[in-house]
Structure 1
Amino acid sequence: MTPEPKIGALAVVIHEGQVLLAQRGKDPGRGLWGFPGGHVEWGETVREAALRELREETAIEARAQRYLTHFDLIHHDDNGQAVVHYLLVGVLCRYQGGTLQAGDDAMDARWFPIDRLRDGTVPVIDRVTELMEIALRAS
C-alpha cells in the first residue's frame, strides 16, 4: 500500500486578546505549543474535526466560523524519505465557553497573550504565529 498524506484540522481560537494553545504530548513537536488539532476521521468534516479536537484537548467549546488557510507538514528521515505528511487546515473558531483543562494527547493547555507569541518567548510548532496572524486579520 502506498502511503498517502493525512488531513489534520487545527482549531484557531482567539478570545479577549489571547490565543488558545495546547502543548503537544507526542511527536511530531512533543513539548511544543500549537493549536489544538489532529486527524480528520472518515466521514467527518474538517470543521467538525477541529471542534472535536478542541474539546478533547482543552475542554473548550467553540463554533467553527471559516477556513483560514492550509499548509503541508512533511518530516523526512535521515535518508530523505518522508515519514510524516499532513495537509493541515486552520479553522477559525469562536469561543463559546468551557473550563480550560488539558486532555487527550495534550500535556497542557493555556491561553497566551497575543504579544507573547509575537515576541517569540513561547516555544511553538512551525507556523503557529503565522496562522495566528492570518486569524487576526480574518476576525
Structure 2
Amino acid sequence: MTTSPTAPPRRPILGALGVVCAHVEGEDCVILVKRRNPPNAGTWGFPGGHVELGETAAEAAARELQEETGVIAEPGAQLMTLDVIPRDADGVVGGQYFLVATLCHYVSGQPVPDDDALEARWVPVARIEALGLDLLDRVAELARLAQARWRQEPRSAPIAPIT
C-alpha cells in the first residue's frame, strides 16, 4: 500500500523530550525552546524530537537537547509519557506521537537556538505560566514535575550554568 507524501504516518511516532532543571539567578529553571517548524511552530516546549533506530528514548532526549540548544546534559529518570494526537477542525487525525520525557542533568553550555528552534532560554518554573509564552499542552505540569524530581536527586554534576 502506497501513501502520499502528505499523508500522516499510519502508526504513532516515538519521540523524546529533554527536560533540564538548574538553579539560575536565584530561581529553579528549565530550558524551553520556541519551535521553528510545524507542527507547533511558534509555540514553546521542551527540546525534543524523534528517537533514532538503535538509541534509547533517554539518549535521544540528551541528543535532541544538545542539537536544539547546545546544552550538554546526562539523561536521568523518565518523568512521564505523553500521547499527542493532533486533529484538524473536522477531528481528522493528522498524526500521532508518543513522547517520553526524560530528566536530563545539566553538564555545560548555555541555551542557544539551533536546529529547529527559533529561541532557547532558561525559564523560571515558578513563573512559567505568567510569562506570556505560548506554551504547548502540559509544559507547565511537566516543568513542575521535573523540578520536584530534580530537587530530590543528589547532585554530582554542576547544578547551575556558568554565565
Q: Return 5+ residue gaps in structure 1 as ranges.
A: none
Structure 1 position 128 matched with structure 2 position 139: yes
Q: Does 1:10 align with 2:17?
A: yes
Contact 1:20 1:109 in 2 (8 A): yes
Gaps of at least 5 residues in structure 2 are: 2-8, 151-163
More strand by share: 1
1:86 aligned residue: 97
Q: What is the 5 A alignment of 1:95-110?
A: 95-110=106-121
Cα displacement string for residues 83-119 of structure 1 (whole angstroms, at most 9, x for unaligned residues): 1210011100110001321100101101111222143
Larger of the two Rg values belongs to structure? 2
115, 118, 123: which one aligns with 1:112: 123
Q: Which residue of 2 aligns with 1:47?
A: 58
RMSD, aligned α-carbons:
1.4
Q: TM-score, normalised by structure 1?
A: 0.93
Residue identity matched to 1:48: E
Distance in 2 between residues matched to 1:113 and 1:78, nearest whole Å: 34
Q: Structure 2 CA distance, aligned partners of 1:32 and 1:135? A: 20
Secondary structure, in 3 states, of the residue corresponding to 1:121? coil
* CA distance, structure 2, for counterparts of residue 120 and residue 106 of structure 1: 19
Q: Distance in 1 between matches of 2:29 and 2:144?
A: 12
- Deviating 4+ runs (over 3 angstroms): none
* TM-fit CA distance, 1:137: 2.0
Percent identity, please: 43
Task: Report if aligned partners of 2:85, 2:94 keep a CA contact under 8 Å in 1.
Answer: yes
Query: Structure 2 length normalisation: TM-score?
Result: 0.80
Q: Alpha-carbon deviation of 1:120?
A: 5.5
Which letter maps to 1:131? Answer: L
Asked if the contact 1:33/1:122 (under 8 Å) is kept, the reply is yes
Q: In 1, Cα distance between the equivalents of 2:112 and 2:144?
A: 25
Conserved? CA contact 1:116–1:122, under 8 Å: no
- Show CA shifts across 1:12-70 (max 9, x none): 00100111011100112111111000011111110110011001000000011110010
Q: What's the offset of the Cα at 1:4?
A: 0.3
